[in-house]
Structure 1
Amino acid sequence: MRDLPGYWDWAPGMRNEAERGPACSGALMHIWLTEGGQRYHSSWTTTDAEVTSRILEDLPDALLDNGERDPKHGFLIQYEDETRIDADGNPVSWYLVMSTPDRFFWQRLDRIGVSTRNPTMVRCPDPN
């Protein structure tokens, strides 16, 4: 997941551009990893609120187009202090899936095969 840290926004067409402006022009999600890549952190650039989670597991290896295996294209997290509850009464867990080094999406673990994933996020330039 060496490609994940950075600034992210909803992909064009996945957001209300009329309200929020073009991608990478407003509030951005800042993501960083600590503890040797085993702890996820994120916050929006317009707030001091931070969410964090231990990385619970890596996604299974993916077979790349060139035939090589990619062992680190996503992971499972469960936010500390998560308030959303799944149908079994457990706090929801999320897969972060990187489709390319500059794109990822979230998928709730309890909704795989039942509902669509969240909209794609795209990498943005560092605003600083």
Structure 2
Amino acid sequence: MFAQRLIKAAVALAAAAFFVPAAAAQDQVLDPVTILPGLWGWDTEVREGADYGTCENAPLRIWFSDRGERYNAQNVGSEAVFTAPVLAHLPATAELAGILIRYDDEDRLDDAGNVVAWWLVMTGENSFIWIRNDWVGTGGSTAPLVRCDDSLIG
């Protein structure tokens, strides 16, 4: 099931030609700006050995600012806040939606020497994956993150 969602995400990214202006992605079925705020953790059934950033240990709190044009995230218990402008939206469906961000102060480079950008691809209302911009078309992604149930938060 995860593999099918990953394939759908990669196909949707390729089909979208990557750049739908953020302002044009209103009134879609899945809206990341509306659905993502809250706590998320690595899916420990898929990402074995994950001990940080899980729902039980330092889940990731996500919120948006500047009328949905800025992504913000912070692991519970950490002082570090990760911020990024929302550069583009993936055309949304009932099963898939996404945003493209490039973290402020990002220093990671892809193989071509470009600063990396990240697609946050929602594979449903309660899960998402990260696909680095240079991974598009390769099938590469992170393990999924899942919405944290209040009973799991450590």
Q: TM-score, with normalisation over the residues of structure 2?
A: 0.69
Q: Which residue of 2 aligns with 1:52?
A: 83
Q: Distance in 2 between matches of 1:115 and 1:103?
A: 17
- Following TM superposition, the consecutive aligned residue runs of length 4 or more in structure 1 with deviations greater than 4 angstroms are none
Structure 1, unmatched stretches of 5+, are: none
Q: Which residue of 1 aligns with 2:21?
A: none
Q: Which residue of 1 aligns with 2:117?
A: 93
Please give the secondary structure, in 1, of the residue aligned with 2:35.
coil
Q: Distance in 2 between matches of 1:84 and 1:56?
A: 18
Q: Over aligned residue pairs, what C-alpha RMSD do you find?
A: 2.2
Q: Which moved more, 1:99-108 or 1:109-118?
A: 109-118
* Matched AA of 2:137: G
Higher strand share: 1
Q: Distance in 2 between matches of 1:97 and 1:117?
A: 10
Structure 2, unmatched stretches of 5+, are: 1-31
Number of residues paired by the alignment?
Answer: 119
Residue by residue, what CA displacement relative to the aligned partner does 1:62-108 show, whole Å, maximum 9, x if unpaired? 3x47xxxx7xx211000010010112222100000111111000000
Q: Distance in 1 between matches of 2:139 and 2:108?
A: 16
Residue by residue, what CA displacement relative to the aligned partner does 1:7-49 show, whole Å, maximum 9, x if unpaired? 00011312345x739x521110010001111100001113110
Q: Which moved more, 1:7-16 or 1:36-45?
A: 7-16
Q: Which residue of 1 aligns with 2:102?
A: 78
Q: Distance in 2 between matches of 1:115 and 1:61?
A: 20
Q: Distance in 1 between matches of 2:37 and 2:141?
A: 21
Counting only pairs closer than 5 Å after superposition, residues 1-128 of structure 1 correspond to structure 2 as 1=32, 2-16=34-48, 20=51, 24-62=55-93, 64=94, 73-125=97-149, 127=153
Q: Distance in 2 between matches of 1:100 and 1:78?
A: 22
Q: TM-score, with normalisation over the residues of structure 1?
A: 0.82
* Matched AA of 1:46: G
Please give the secondary structure, in 2, of the residue aligned with 1:20.
coil
